[in-house]
Amino acid sequence: MDKKAKVLILTGSKNDLPKLEDAFNFLKEMGVEFIADVSSAHRNPEKTIEYAKTARENGIEVIIAAAGLAAHLPGVIAAHTTLPVIGVPLSGGALSGLDSLLSIVQMPSGVPVATVGIDAVKNAAILACEILSIKYQEIGEKLLKFKEDLRKK
C-alpha cells in the first residue's frame, strides 16, 4: 500500500468504480493522495477485513466505503478499525439505493459509519478532506477556497 495515501476508497464491485470518479477528482483537486480498490464484504471478506485492520499502519487516516444493495461494506470495515469510515450508499437494484442508505445508517451502537446521500461520492470526499483538515492546514486552506468558490457560484 502507498504510505503517502491518506484516504482509502473501497467499493464492493468493479462495476461501481465509474460512480466514484467525482470523489477521485475532488481528492486530486485537493492534493490528497488516495488508494482505490474493489473489496467485497460478501465475496472477499478476508481482503476487506485485512484492509480495515492494516489501514492505520499503512498511513491511511480516513476510509470511504461505497456499496449498493445490502451495503455491508462500510459496516464491516468500521467493525475492524478505529479510523473514521464514511459510507456511500450507491444506487441500483429495485430500491434505487434506498436499501443501501438504510443499511449504512442503521449501524449498531459502538460501530459508527458517517453516511452521505445516495451516490454522493463527492460529499464523501469533501467530508474526508474536512476530517483531514484538522491535522493538515494546507487541506483546510484548499477547502476554504472551495467553499468560497461555491458561495460565488
Work out the average pLDDT over 18-29.
97
Q: Over the stretch 130-149, which tens digit does the pLDDT of each residue have?
A: 999 999 999 999 999 999 99
What CA–CA distances, in Å, run from 18 to 4, 21, 36, 67? 24, 6, 12, 13
What's residue 1's pLDDT?
61
CA-to-CA distance for 15 and 44, rounded, in angstroms?
16
* Domains along the sequence of the chain with CATH: 7-152 (3.40.50.1970)
| DSSP-assigned states of every residue in 64-91 | EEEEETT--HHHHHHHT-SS-EEEEEE-
Average pLDDT across the chain, whole number: 95
Where does residue 150 rank: exposed (0-12), middle (13-18), buried (19+ CB within 10 A)?
Answer: exposed
Quickly state the pLDDT bin for 152 (edges 50, 70, 90): very high
Q: Over the stretch 98-132, which tens digit does the pLDDT of each residue have?
A: 999 999 999 999 999 999 999 999 999 999 999 99
Q: Residue 25 above 90 pLDDT?
A: yes
Q: Quick one: cell of 99?
A: 436499501
